[in-house]
Amino acid sequence: MGGAIPPFFIYEVKMRNIEKEILLETYRPWVKKLGQWHLADDDGKTRCGKPMLGNNYAKYIPENERTECPDCFK
Ligand SMILES: [Zn+2]
């Protein structure tokens, strides 16, 4: 292995980052106590349809300690 990253891989990662940035700009984070990271709209609903119960820990749990909800981030 030469360690070179194939160009298509970089492209994929860039695309994913852009999509994620758009999601993060469009929705606000709804983070559960255990770090599960959902995306919510202004109507108080998450993208995945989970009820927004309890407190939002977005202020307290940094992004690198959260677990992205697969349905909110797809
Ligand atoms: Zn979710």
pLDDT tens series, the chain, 74 aa: 567 878 887 888 787 788 889 999 999 999 999 999 999 998 889 999 988 988 999 999 999 999 999 999 98
Query: 36 pairs with which residues across the strands?
Result: 67
Tokens of 67: 């677990």
User: Could you identify the residue written with the tokens 């349809």?
Assistant: 49
pLDDT score at 69 = 96
Which residues, chain by chain, have CB under 5 Å from ion ligand 1?
38, 46, 48, 69, 71-72
CA of 9 from ligand 1 middle (Å) equals: 26
pTM for the whole thing? 0.78
Task: Return d(Cα 5, Cα 61) in angstroms, integer.
Answer: 32
Cα separation values, 52 from 5, 9, 38, Å: 40, 35, 9
CA of 72 from ligand 1 middle (Å) equals: 4
pLDDT score at 72 = 95
Tokens of 33: 């106590």
